[in-house]
Amino acid sequence: MAPSLPKAPPSAHDGLRTALLAADWPLLARLCRQALRKNGRDLGAHRLLGFALHRQRRFGAARQAYQRASVLWPDDAELLVNHANVLIEQARNNAALPLLERLCGLRPEQAIVWIKLAECCYLPGLHDRGFAASQNAAARARTLHERAAALMQSAIHRRELGQIREAIEDSERAIALFPGEPGNHTNRLLFMLSAPQVDAAQLSAAAREYGAIFESPLRQAWPRFEQHRGAPWRRLRVGFLSPDFRMHSVMYFAEGLLARLDRRQFEVFAFHLFPDEDSVSARVQRHADHFVRLAGLDARQQAEAIRAQGIDILVDLAGHTGHNGLLALAHKAAPVQVSWLGFPATTGLQAVDYRFTDEITDPPDAQAQYTERLYRLPTPFACYRPMSRNPLWRYQPRYQVHPAPAGERGCVTFGSCNNLGKLSDEVLALWGRVLAATPGSRLLIEGKNLDRPDFADAYRQRCQGLGLEPQRLDLVALRNANQYLTYHRIDIALDPFPLSGGTTTFDALWMGLPVVSMVGESFKGRMGVSLLTHLGRSEWLAETPQDYVRIAQRLAADVPALNTLRLGLRDEMERSALMREDLFGQHFGQGLRAMWLHWLARAEHPHSAQAQEQALRDWLPRLPEEWTCAPQPEVGIAPGQRISLVHAHARLQELVKKARADAPLAATPAAQITSRSWSAVAQLAETVLDAVAHDPVALSCLAEVENAHGHTGCAVNYLQHAARAMGTGLPGT
C-alpha cells in the first residue's frame, strides 16, 4: 500500500509528496535519503524509501531499508505491511509472517491486515492459521474488495484442508462481489477440477467466462506479427512461460524437454514468473538458451518483454494455477501460443491457439471442451523424469524398488500420496469398499498436516463416517524428504477421481506400484488412462466403481505375483514411451513446426483455405534433409553455453585423467570431495546426467570419483547402473 506522510510543517515533505504523486521512484529514493541524513528518525522518509526501492524492483535494498526503519519504528503499521509485501513478493513468507502477526496485534480491527496474514500462510502450508485469518478478515471487511479478498483467502486454504465444495462456493461468492479479480476465477477453476459434481462442460464454461471478462477487451490491440513471417523452415524462437522453473511437479516433465529439444530447429527461452529460484532453476538456466525473469511485472509488461525477444511460439506450462501468466497470453505475446502441462483443462482464451495432448487423454469428441485446437501427440501427453529435487538420488540404493511390503507385513497395504484436496467423500467411500473386499488390508494416506493430532483425528472421523475403519488407516504427514520413500510402505496405489493423479501416478509406477485408476470423461480424469495404456497395463483401468474394487481385490489376492510385478515395473516404465525423452522431444518439436507452418499459411493467405493448403504442400518437400535424422544430444554446461555429448565425454575423460594424476586413491574413505580435480569431474558428470539421463560415461566417471575417495560400494553402484544402461539400451544413452 502507498505510504502516508506523518503530520509535519507544510514544507518538510513537499518534495517527497511531489515525487510520490509523480511516481518518480529514483527521485523519491534520493530525496528520502537526503531527508534521513538530516533527520535519521524521519518516519515519512523511512516509509517512502523502502516503498520507492520496492517500486524500482530493488528488492534487497528495499528489505534493508525496512529493516533499518524497524529498529526505530518497530510498531509502525505502514512500515510493517510494506516490509511484509516486499518479503511475500520475493516468496520469503516465513520472514513476513512475524511482521504480519505483529501488525494484526496493532490493527486487529482492519480487514486488510488479516487478509495479508492469510495470504502469507499459504506457501508455508499453514492452512489452519490462514483459514482462521481469512475468517477474521471476513468479519471485519467493510468494502466489496475486502470481502472478496477475504473469500479468496478462505477458498485457497479450504481447498488445502479438503473442503472442496466450500472452496468453490467461496470463490463463486468472491466473483459475484468482485468479478474483475482474475485470481478468484483461477481459484474456482482449479478447485472445480476435484469436485465430483462438476463435469467437463461446466469447467469449460467457467474457463470461457474467464476469457470473456479478461481477454475480450484486449483483442483489438493484438499485434499482427508481420515481422515474423518468412521462411517456413527457419530456426524458431520458442519460449516456455512458467512460474515453476523451480522445485515443482511441472519440472518432472519440462526439464527433459528443455534439455533435449532440437537446437538445429529451435532457440529456447525460459520465461520465469516466480520471484524465487533454487537448484532446479539453476539447471533450467543451463538447459535453456536464454533465461528471462518476469516476476514483478504486470501482464502487459510481461507480454511486451516476451515480444521484445522475438518469440515465435510461446508454450504456457501453468494454465489456471498459481502465479500463472495467462493474462500475458491474453495480450497475445507471441504469434503462436500453446498450452501444455500445469492445468488439465482449457484456458478459456482465444489467444491460446493450440494445446498439446494425446489421443487417449483427449479422445476424438473432446475438442468441444477447449478453446484451443488440440494437437495430439503419438506419445503420452508428457514424458516423466524422476528425482527432480536431487537427480543423482535416482541411483541411490534407498530409492531402488524394494520387495512388496505385504511379504514382510503379512497384509496388503493400499495407498495414496495425492493431494488431500483430490480425496473427495466419493473417493474415500469407494476406498472403504476396497478395504471391505480385501480382509486384513490397510490404507495409507499421505498428506499435509497429518502429523497434527487434531487434524489427523478429524480426518479419521471423516473417513469413519464414509465407511473406512479408522484402525485400518495409516495417516502419514507429507514431507519432501520422504518423496518416493513412502512407496516402500505401499503395495498397491489407488488413484483418485474425478481428478486423477498426474506426477503422483508416474512416481508410484516408477517405484514399482500397480495403480488402480478410474476411467474419466475428460483430461482431468483420464491421465491415468493414458499412462496405463502406454505402459501396456490397461487391465488396471476401471470403468465403474465395481470394476475398481474388483481390480484392487485381484491384485491383492496374489502377493508373490504382486512382488514379481513390482520388481520388474521400473524397467517397464523406463523402456516405455512414458520416459522416452528422446522420442518425446522429437514429436514435440514436430508439433511446434506443424503449428508454425499452419500459422504462416494463414498469415500469408488469410482469406483462402485452399491457398493455405497449397502453401503447406509447397513447403513440406523443402524440409531440410539433416532434420530427418534425430539430433545428437547436447549438454548445457553454463547459461547460454551448450556442447555436444561427444565433446562432454571428451572433457570428462580429460578431467578424470588429470584427477588421477593430481589426487591418488584415498587410503581410507574420505567424507567429502576435497580435491578440486575430482570435484570438477563430479560436477561435469552430474551436469551431463541432468541433460542425458542414464549416460553411461557420466555414471562411470562418478564411479571413479567415489572409488578415489574410498567409497567402493558407491562406485560399484554407479558402475552397475552404467553397465545396465549400456546393456539394456535405456533411453537417453
Parallel, antiparallel, or unpaired: how do β-strands 634-638 and 641-644 relate? antiparallel
Tens digits of residue pLDDT in 645-675:
999 999 999 999 999 998 777 666 777 777 8
Question: 453 Cβ partners below 8 Å, 6+ apart?
Answer: none
- Burial tier of 664 (Cβ tally within 10 Å: 0-12, 13-18, 19+): exposed
Domain boundaries, the chain: 14-216, 229-383+580-631, 402-566, 634-728
User: Cell numbers 467461496 label which residue?
Assistant: 170
The third-level CATH classification (topology) of the domain covering 229-383+580-631 is: Rossmann fold (3.40.50)
Summarised one tens digit per residue, pLDDT across range 521-543 is 999 999 999 999 999 999 999 99
| HEC assignment per residue over 105-162 | HHCCCCHHHHHHHHHHCCCCCCHHHHHHHHHHHHHHCCCHHHHHHHHHHHHHHHHHCC
Long-range Cβ contact pairs of 604-607 (< 8 A, separation 24 or more): 604/229
pLDDT tens figures, 12-24: 578 898 999 999 9
Residue numbers in the chain where pLDDT is lower than 50: 10, 732-733
> Grid coordinates standing for 218?
484486449
How much is the pTM?
0.89
Closest CA to 243 of 190, 281, 192: 281
Which amino acid appears at position 449 of this protein? N
Sign of CA dihedral 538, 539, 541, 544: positive
What pLDDT score was predicted for residue 90? 87
CATH architecture of the region 14-216: Alpha Horseshoe (1.25)
Q: Report the pLDDT value the prediction gives residue 11, as an integer from 0 to 100.
A: 55
| Pick from 545, 488, 487: nearest CA to 516 | 545
Residue the block writes with cell 509447397: 618
pLDDT at 664: 72
Fold category of 402-566 in CATH: Rossmann fold (3.40.50)
Element (H, E) at 174: helix 164-177
Shared fold status for 14-216 and 402-566: no
- Are 192 and 168 spatial neighbours (Cβ–Cβ below 8 Å)? yes
C-alpha grid cell, residue 711: 567409497
